[in-house]
Amino acid sequence: MTAVSDLVAVVDRLLDPSGGCVWNRSQTHASLARYAVEESYELVDAIDSGDDGELREELGDVLYQVVLHAGLAESFDLEDVAADARDKMVRRHPHVFGDERADTVEDVVRVWRAAKAAEKSSRVSAFDGVPHAMPPLERAVKLLERLEERGDADAVVASVVVAGSGAVSGSGSGSGSGSGSVDATWGTEVLATIAEARKAGIDPIASLRAAVAGLEAAGRAGE
């Protein structure tokens, strides 16, 4: 047995109706969704830290989430998940496993997109497949990427800014003055800033993360 098969056996034991863990047995894919997100963020923190030991641990936590979801599933198991991932990677790398040529990173991206488009031919919109659960900044960047591929990012962003500038702000459920309010104009201005940053070759996500890290460091220094 390998460590991966050992982990599968551990999860099977946790999910065993007799003698397993009552918490694990009570979980569903939906109830575990938040943990997948949390573990992914912790993995990113580990990557940023540059600590290989921490990275190894967080990769293990993400792997555990995959194995646990596969263990809970009734119509597939971990072997099926791995097989799907294997087959997808082979399909999307025809320059490695087939006769396609891709000598540059740009060529690889082109080949990948073509293979993905063939797989997702039933999609009716360029935005299909962009998760709604993504944080707004990350989702904005992903949607802008799709628009850039289509070639009309500037026009679409401009139309959103025009529409947002005439929108009326609404109130949320916050109790403080202005707390929880929604300002469409402010939102579209931020969106336009994100689009301009991408045009200038700036990574908006990494840049904001760096600024927030500075905010935390400054706040900690003042404690």
Bridge partners of 11, per DSSP, are none
When pLDDT is cut at 50, 70 and 90, the band that residue 201 belongs to is very high
CATH class of the domain whose range is 3-85: mainly alpha
| Angle between helices 78-91 and 52-72 in degrees, nearest 10 | 110
Q: What is the pLDDT of residue 169?
A: 57
Buried/exposed 71-104: b ≥16 CB within 10 Å, e otherwise: bbeeeeebeeeeeeeeeeeeebbbbeeeeeebee
- pTM, rounded to two decimals: 0.76
Q: How confident is the model at residue 92 (pLDDT cuts 50, 70, 90)?
A: very high
Cα-based distances in Å from 30 to 23, 34, 58, 68, 192: 14, 8, 21, 12, 34
Backbone angle region of 6, left / alpha / beta, with phi > 0 → left and psi within -120 to 50 → alpha: alpha
What residues have CB less than 8 Å from 148, skipping those under 6 apart?
A: 198
Residues 50-66 have pLDDT tens digits of: 999 999 999 999 999 99
Write out the two tokens for 159: 């139309």
Identify residue 73 by its one-letter amino acid code. A
Domain ranges of the chain: 3-85, 92-122, 129-170+180-223
